[in-house]
Structure 1
Amino acid sequence: MKYTEGMEKAMHASHGVGYAVYSQKHEVRIDVEQQREEEYVTSRRIVADFNSKLTNHLS
């Protein structure tokens, strides 16, 4: 996959590192992926809570 300038900016904004550092340093990659996993789990909980409240409200 070709890594674009926009992707580089987003990586810096989200994780504070560029793709070159991410791809070369294992520790940085692990930290970034752990952060992404935590954000994913948090977002899934928010969606589940919202859906539960919406379903209860409509019933």
Structure 2
Amino acid sequence: MNYTSEMEKAMHQAHGISYEVYSSNVEARMKVEQKREQDYVKGKLLIARLDSKVHSI
């Protein structure tokens, strides 16, 4: 995979680490993936709440 400068910038903004650190450090990768999972779950819960409000009107 070709890693672009935009991808590098996004990794820094979202997780505070470079792609090189992400790809070479298992602990850093696990932290990033745990944060991604938490963000995914929060998003799903938010959508479920909004969906229930929309359908209860």
Q: Same fold (TM over 0.5)?
A: yes
Alpha-carbon distance between aligned partners in 2 of 1:54 and 1:18, rounded to the nearest angstrom: 40
Matched length = 57
Structure 1 stretches of 4+ with a deviation exceeding 3 A read none
Question: Which has more radius of gyration?
Answer: 1
In structure 2, list runs of 5 or more residues that go unmatched.
none
Which residue does 1:49 correspond to in 2? 49
What TM-score do you get using the length of structure 1 for normalisation?
A: 0.94
Identity of aligned residues (%): 47
Alpha-carbon distance between aligned partners in 1 of 2:10 and 2:39, rounded to the nearest angstrom: 15
What TM-score do you get using the length of structure 2 for normalisation?
A: 0.98
Q: CA RMSD in A?
A: 0.4
In structure 1, list runs of 5 or more residues that go unmatched.
none
